[in-house]
Structure 1
Amino acid sequence: MTITQLKYILAVAEHRNFTVASEHCFVTQPTLSMQIQKLEDELDIIIFNRAKKPISLTEIGEKIVIQAKTIVEESNRINDIVDQQKGYIGGEFKIAIIPTIMPTLLPMFLKTFNNKYPKVNLQIEELTTEECIKKLIDGHIDAAIAATPLENPKIKEKPLYYEPFIGFVPDYHKLSHKKKLTVNELDSDDILLLKDGHCFKESILNMCSSFSSPNAKSFRLESGSFDTLIKLSKENLGMTLLPYLHSLDLSNEDKHFLREFEAPVPAREVSLLYNKSQLKMQLIEALKTTIDGIVRGAISFNDVKIISPIAQKKTN
């Protein structure tokens, strides 16, 4: 039994196809099949039911896959232990960021991180929160940045900052005369939201749930991007809410429509996520330290109204 054989088993268990699994393992399909067959013969069991399409795991196969994940993770931990002992921060590091955070946060920290840790091969992709969780649990990414709390027992969350909501209220709107908004003035039937699958939408719905009219209609319009919501709002289709950092990139003309909230200001918690069995802790800490520094610097020097976890604790 070898670690390589176990990795092949995990690949087939995930993709339910020998050809696809071999492509992800960068070996030929006959090589992968032969190694799995060799292990099955050694153990005198059948791991995969090859007669079914897609391929399925046998009862004993299900148990072996669970144990194989543990063994492969622990074998990878050896390299992690060595890297930490040497103080080495480098290698491949895969991170996912949700769509409502990536466009504003990534430009803030990417150049600084790359300059500080040139030996890290940072691979970044944009995923929904649900996709982030699945890939973290399956071990396909090392970390993610998303709105929290998620309360998933398999995921650890390290808060990075707290980002306020800000209203985008066009001149025609009933709240346009207000210098500052309050949460109890919001009408969920009048707010343009992102499509299902965006956690930002859920944050808004949770914030408005206590103040919605019992006869409120379903949302008239939902979009996949903040830019579209802004355009629709300017066409008299309703107000919308934005994360604060997104509002910084608006034109001076559009900033005229922004309305901040009175205290206590509603905000979303943005956190760094990783699997509880995560190996690359030195890289996770390096990323968190970099973003922490960017956030504190923005607060200190640029009057960016986001709140670091340290500042949050001081006010509680």
Structure 2
Amino acid sequence: MTITQLYYVLAVAENQNFTKAAQKCFVTQPTLSMQIQKLEDELDILIFDRSKKPIELTDVGRKIVNQAKNIVNESYRIQDIVDQQKGFIGGEFKLGIIPTIMPTLLPMFLKAFIKKYPKIKLKIEELTTEDIISRLNEGHLDAAIAATPLETESIKERVLYYEPFVGYIPEHHRLHSKQKISTADLDIDDMLLLEDGHCFRDGVINLCKTFKNQADTSFQLESGSIETLIKLSNEGMGMTLLPYLHTLDLNEKCKQNLHFFNEPSPAREVSLLYHKSELKMQIIEAMQDVISGIIRGAIKFQNVEIISPLPK
């Protein structure tokens, strides 16, 4: 039994196809099939039911795949140990970031991070929280940045910063004249929300107390981007809430529509996520240091109340 054979098994289990798995592993399909067959012969069992289309795991195959994930991850840790011993911070690093954080945070830290750690090859994807959790568990991401806490046993969280919610309230709205707003002022009926799948949307709904007695049909408008919400709000379609970092690049006219909350300000917790197997920790810690250092100068709020990103 070899780690390579287990790696091939994981590839077939994920792709449910020998040809696709071979392409992902950069080997020929006969080579991959032969190695898996050798492993099955050695164990005297079938890992895959090849009669099914797409290919399925057998009952014992599912148990083997679960154990193979642990073994392959632990094999990667040996390289981690060597890298840490040598003080090497480099190699490929796959990072996922949720859509409501990507456009504001990434431009703030990316240039500084690349300059400080030129040997790291970053691969960054914009993903939903659900996809991030799935990919971290499958080993397809090394880390991610998302709103927390997520209460996922297999995922560890390192808090980067707390980002307050800010009201965006256009002229002629009932709350526009108020200097500061409170959660009691919010009415879900005139609130513009992000569409389903965004954890920031769930945070806003959790903040709006009136939602408890409202049906989903009470939403007037939903959108896929915060920029669209701002434009709709400017057209008099309702108010919305923005993450604080999104307010920094608004033009002066739009900034006149910003209304901060009474303290403690409702806020989201933004964290660096990684699998409990703790691979590539030297890169994760390097990223945490760079982001924390940069964000310290951007967010001055101290007295905040964390709003859960999980739907109630």
TM over 0.5: yes
Q: Which moved more, 1:102-111 or 1:246-255?
A: 246-255
Structure 2 equivalent of residue 289 of structure 1: 289
Letter in 1 for 2:32: L
CA contact (8 A) 2:165 2:265 kept: yes
Hey, what's the Cα distance between the residues in 1 that align with 2:186 and 2:59? Answer: 53
Hey, what's the Cα distance between the residues in 2 that align with 1:305 and 1:202? Answer: 25
Q: Which moved more, 1:249-258 or 1:139-148?
A: 249-258
Structure 1 equivalent of residue 95 of structure 2: 95
Query: What SS class does the counterpart of residue 173 from structure 2 fall into?
Result: coil
List aligned pairs for 1:63-212, cutoff 5 A. Answer: 63-208=63-208, 210-212=209-211
Letter in 2 for 1:227: E
TM normalised by structure 1 equals: 0.93
- Once the two structures are superposed, what CA deviation does each residue of 1:170-206 show, in whole Å capped at 9, x if it has no partner? 1021001111111110001211000100000000011
How far 1:99 moved relative to its partner? Answer: 0.3
How far 1:308 moved relative to its partner? Answer: 11
Query: What SS class does the counterpart of residue 146 from structure 2 fall into?
Result: strand
CA contact (8 A) 1:159 1:270 kept: yes
Letter in 2 for 1:214: N
Hey, what's the Cα distance between the residues in 2 that align with 1:308 and 1:19? Answer: 55
CA contact (8 A) 1:89 1:117 kept: yes
Hey, what's the Cα distance between the residues in 2 that align with 1:138 and 1:66? Answer: 10
Hey, what's the Cα distance between the residues in 2 that align with 1:215 and 1:290? Answer: 42
How far 1:159 moved relative to its partner? Answer: 0.5
Query: What SS class does the counterpart of residue 74 from structure 1 fall into?
Result: helix
Q: Which moved more, 1:26-35 or 1:100-109?
A: 26-35
CA contact (8 A) 2:12 2:21 kept: yes
Query: What SS class does the counterpart of residue 204 from structure 1 fall into?
Result: helix
- Once the two structures are superposed, what CA deviation does each residue of 1:17-71 show, in whole Å capped at 9, x if it has no partner? 1111111111122221121112112222111001111111111111111111111
How far 1:251 moved relative to its partner? Answer: 1.3
Hey, what's the Cα distance between the residues in 2 that align with 1:244 and 1:62? Answer: 45
CA contact (8 A) 1:244 1:305 kept: no
Structure 1 equivalent of residue 309 of structure 2: none
Letter in 2 for 1:289: D
Query: What SS class does the counterpart of residue 266 from structure 1 fall into?
Result: strand
Hey, what's the Cα distance between the residues in 2 that align with 1:150 and 1:238? Answer: 30
Query: What SS class does the counterpart of residue 192 from structure 2 fall into?
Result: strand
Hey, what's the Cα distance between the residues in 2 that align with 1:305 and 1:185? Answer: 24
Q: Which moved more, 1:100-109 or 1:246-255?
A: 246-255
Hey, what's the Cα distance between the residues in 1 that align with 2:300 and 2:200? Answer: 18
Query: What SS class does the counterpart of residue 144 from structure 1 fall into?
Result: strand
What is the aligned-residue RMSD (CA, Å)? 1.7
- Are 2:191 and 1:214 aligned? no
Hey, what's the Cα distance between the residues in 2 that align with 1:152 and 1:63? Answer: 21
- Once the two structures are superposed, what CA deviation does each residue of 1:61-101 show, in whole Å capped at 9, x if it has no partner? 11111111111111111110111111111111111000000
CA contact (8 A) 2:263 2:303 kept: no
Query: What SS class does the counterpart of residue 134 from structure 2 fall into?
Result: helix
Structure 2 equivalent of residue 259 of structure 1: 259
Query: What SS class does the counterpart of residue 260 from structure 1 fall into?
Result: strand
Hey, what's the Cα distance between the residues in 2 that align with 1:32 and 1:146? Answer: 36
- Once the two structures are superposed, what CA deviation does each residue of 1:194-235 show, in whole Å capped at 9, x if it has no partner? 010000000001111x34473565211100001111111111
Query: What SS class does the counterpart of residue 178 from structure 1 fall into?
Result: coil
Letter in 2 for 1:142: D
Query: What SS class does the counterpart of residue 110 from structure 1 fall into?
Result: helix
Hey, what's the Cα distance between the residues in 1 that align with 2:157 and 2:49? Answer: 38
Hey, what's the Cα distance between the residues in 2 that align with 1:152 and 1:307? Answer: 27
Letter in 2 for 1:76: Y
Give the 3 Å change call, closer, same or farther, for CA 41–288 of structure 1 in structure 2. Answer: same
CA contact (8 A) 1:142 1:274 kept: yes
% identical equivalent positions:
65
CA contact (8 A) 2:168 2:257 kept: yes
Residue ranges of structure 2 left out of the alignment (5+ in a row) = 307-312
Give the 3 Å change call, closer, same or farther, for CA 288–213 of structure 1 in structure 2. Answer: closer
The size of the alignment, in residue pairs, is: 304
Letter in 2 for 1:198: H
Residue ranges of structure 1 left out of the alignment (5+ in a row) = none
Letter in 2 for 1:162: Y
CA contact (8 A) 1:295 1:306 kept: no
- Are 2:27 and 1:19 aligned? no
